Structure formats: structure tokens, C-alpha cells
Homo-oligomer: A and B are copies of this chain.
Amino acid sequence: MLSERRLQVLRAIVQDYVGTEEPVGSKALTERHNLGVSPATVRNDMAALEDEGFIAQPHTSAGRIPTDKGYRLFVDKLAGVKPMTPPERRAIQNFLDGAVDLDDVVARTVRLLAQLTRQVAVVQYPSLTRSTVRHVELLSLAPARLMLVLITDTGRVEQRMVDCPAPFGESSLADLRARLNSRVAGRRFTDVPGLVEDLPEAFEAEDRGTVSTVLSTLLETLVEENEERLMIGGTANLTRFGHDFPLTIRPVLEALEEQVVLLKLLGEAGDSGMTVRIGHENAYEGLNSTSVVSVGYGSGGEAVAKLGVVGPTRMDYPGTMGAVRAVARYVGQILAES
């Protein structure tokens, strides 16, 4: 077990390293933090910390830098979450209050997070899993060509082309439209598949193919709509990553382009409370030299989506966590109001 002072030494190392970006030595430590002991003592502590794998030296005769394990301990035990100052809070609220619609809320949130943390921000759109169908519209564009329009209670509209296997009469169309709406209007997305399953049976044989096609397109649309989208911003902050640029930054940019990767990343984070994934704790190896701080947010008590930031493992964890938490909180408020 590590003594109290050794933990303090680790904390000091993390803080200094985050500030200076340079390996920190025993002498500098005793000068900048009054630990009340001499450099020699600190050296012993450092040796112990290194044995335990919390810190490492890039090369002999250099100072120490924290390892992922060191950051982990720091985040878990040694550092709190730095609360935002009142002016910061006001700024956040003012900025988010100006949003006009959902897209705008998300866009502003991304900007805000990126600015506050000076890192890359990722914001997931509020999930639609609980949304319902308001209306389904079918329009005939050509004899064997329909357009399917889906309107959700969140005001979102999705449309799809449907190529019919056979011409579909106007009366059949009206019939299908009416039956479809009476079954699914007001229902949750997840319930729809079961509700329309037997619909083709109500139609003439010649129309069944088309009906099935329409239905499967509808189901596809629902699934896709349900699919999470996200927005990222602040990529310019990647330039502050480190000196060994190209190699570090490239896989990160690639990861950021793969929304699937990011969604999985956010998805893996715990549902409640803030999650910090440090370096190799990230499953995606392109992000092995980054840390991801994420948290759920939502309109009610429930989290409907996540947001977070991606930055170098050498980041200001307390500050970042404070900003992420505060932003999530205010976004939740905004969503609840609208």
C-alpha cells in the first residue's frame, strides 16, 4: 500500500506534468509543491511509484511521467471534479439558451465543450428510442414508385423512396395509408414491427408484394432513425496534442470520422455518472493515447444520450470533468424546457 505522501507525490507529478508537458524531476517537485521533505526522499518515493507502475521515465536520467495507471489512480482517488465558477456557469447557460432547435442545441453544445475544455468535443443526439410515430404518409410519384414519409413526435421527418414490384393503384394506396396510420400512429418505434406484421394479408394478392416492400422500408427507416447520430467539434485542438504529431493525431482523426467507433465508445461508458477512459482503457486502439471523458445527459432524470470530450491522456482531468458535467447538466435543462 502506498503511503499518504507517496500519493501526494503522484498527484504533484500529474499536476506538474499536465502543466508543463515535460517529465518532472524530484528537485522541481520539492520546489513547486512544499511537500516538507527533501528531493532525496521524493526520489525514493518515485522509485516506489515506478515499481508499482504508476509513473515511468521516458529514458534514464529524465524526469518521470505518469502512466495510464497513474492517471487512473489520480482520477479515482487523488483529484476531485473542479466545479465551474459562477461566471462560467452563467456563460454556459447564456450560450445554450440562444439555441433555436435541437440541431442548434447540439451544435452549440459541441462548440461550448470544445471551447471550455480546449479539446475535441463529441455530443450524441438525444436518442429516439422512446419516440413515437405521429404519421406515415404515402405519396405516389409514378405508377410503381412511392415515397414514404415518416413523421415522428419529435418533429422529425424522414422520407424514403419505394420501388414497387407491381403498379399500385390510388385506391390501394389510400387503403394502405389509412390502415397503416390507424395501427402505428402514436405508437413507439419499438412496437411498430409487431403491429404491421400481418398487414399484407388484408390486401389482394397482386398488391401484397408492394405492401411488403413498403413495410420493410418503413421498418428500415425506423431502425435507421433510431440509429444514433452525433456531432463533433474542436478538432483544431488536436494540434495541441504533443510534439510527436502525425503519428498521434492520425488515428485519432480516423477514429473521429468513424461515427460507429465513437458511438461504441460512448456506449461503453457507464450509464450513470461520469466515465473516464484513460489511454489503453479505450477499446479502439487508435485512441490508445487519448482519454475520453463522457457523461450521460437527458431532459428528465433519465439519460437519453451521452456527450464527452476526447483529449490527450495528459489532460487536466478535474477541469475537464467539471466542464463536461456542467455542460451536460445545462443541456439537460434546456432539453427539458423545450
Contact = CB atoms under 8 A, between A and B. Distances in A.
Contacts of A160: 100-101
Interface in A250-268: 250, 253-254, 256-257
Interface of A: 100-101, 134-135, 137, 139, 141, 147, 149, 151, 155, 157-161, 220, 224, 233-236, 238-239, 245-246, 249-250, 253-254, 256-257, 338
Nearest to A140: B135
Rank and list the top 3 A-B pairs by shortest CB-CB distance, nearest first.
Answer: A236-B253, A239-B250, A157-B159
Contacts of A161: 101, 155, 338
Grouping DSSP codes into helix (H, G, I), strand (E, B) and loop, the A interface class, with mixed when no group exceeds half, is mixed
Given A149-B151, A161-B338, A245-B245, 10 more contacts: A100-B160, A101-B158, A101-B161, A137-B139, A151-B159, A155-B159, A157-B157, A157-B158, A235-B256, A245-B246
Give the number of times this chain occurs in the complex, counting copies: 2
A257 B120 CA distance: 12
Contact of A157 (B149, B238, B253): B149
Contacts of A234: 257
Contacts of A249: 239
Nearest to A111: B257
A239 B250 CA distance: 6
Nearest to A252: B236
Nearest to A259: B107
B135 A101 contact: no
5 contacts: A101-B159, A139-B151, A147-B151, A239-B253, A245-B246
